Amino acid sequence: MPGASGPPLGSGVIRSVAEDFQVDEVLGFEPDDDGEHVLLHIRKRDTNTQWLAGELARWVGIPPGDVSYAGLKDRHAVTTQWFSLRMTHRSEPDWQTFDNPLIEVLAAHRHRKKLRRGALRGNRFQLRIRALSAEPEAMDVRLAQLRSAGMPNYFGEQRFGHDYQNLDRAAEIFSKHRRRVSRNLRGLVISAVRSQLFNQVLAQRIEQGNWNRPVPGDYYMLEGTRSGFSDEQEEESRLTIRCETQDIHPSGPMWGRGRPLVSAQTAELEQTVLEPFEAWRNGLEHVGLQQERRPLRVRLADLDWSFESGGDLLLSFFLPAGSYATALLRELILVQYPEE
């Protein structure tokens, strides 16, 4: 997938230690302080989200299905994350006695509703890049450019499984003669296929140089919301200004049933790009997903950075729910890991 900012400026190592990759969930709402659920705010290190959910269920004695979370968080990182536990007619334990050196309960609040997937405003990241080979002056320019213009909203490679195996399983999942697979695996494969179709369209628009500006027939997403509108509702000059100020963003397809929300040149572009993926498109429609749109761009207004005396680059930034820090890193460097 092409980058929008030019070739990587060098290479750098991430995740040398868990503290190099820190993520804090931002809920976007206040707990009710009343209700049958308990919202737990937890800091974890080198810990898998799904494993931790199971441990919480076991510790308080509730079914695993009564523990939920808004999203998966990186294992090899230090993250703060919210979990909800259905505790109907149950007294709460002393949360501070949850005995695990890698986990700390920061807060507990009663809440009326179960915490559902995606119920976040976003995530705040603090990343350290070690062994940076890029020139600091060039990196300053690239980062300033991204802060001003935003970044492509690619789905990150972790969406697709190890070596993109989730995409390899698509034919099996969508086949009439498919074998039985777990609900979780089926969901992962469907999400991966849908994400890859979006990435294909975004890549083509980057190649054409119009991923962040109006194209006739576009459907636009409002910054910071899931709402949008078609280009027929505003004049082209006004749409151009709003795109330049990042008040709105052109969007790409999250494939499913129904009439596409785009028309004219945009519809033709997406049809051409996605024509080779007919089996995937039919599969997504068959499982009942509806046509949706996702912004092609992410605003990075609060992106900040500094260089340490040892040459490390420190980054801090906020991303809305569903956007990936790796999409920012790929605009900067060739990412390396300690074991490479």
Active site residues: 74
How distant, in Å, are the alpha carbons of 60, 132, 170, 197, 223 from that of 181?
Answer: 30, 42, 12, 23, 38
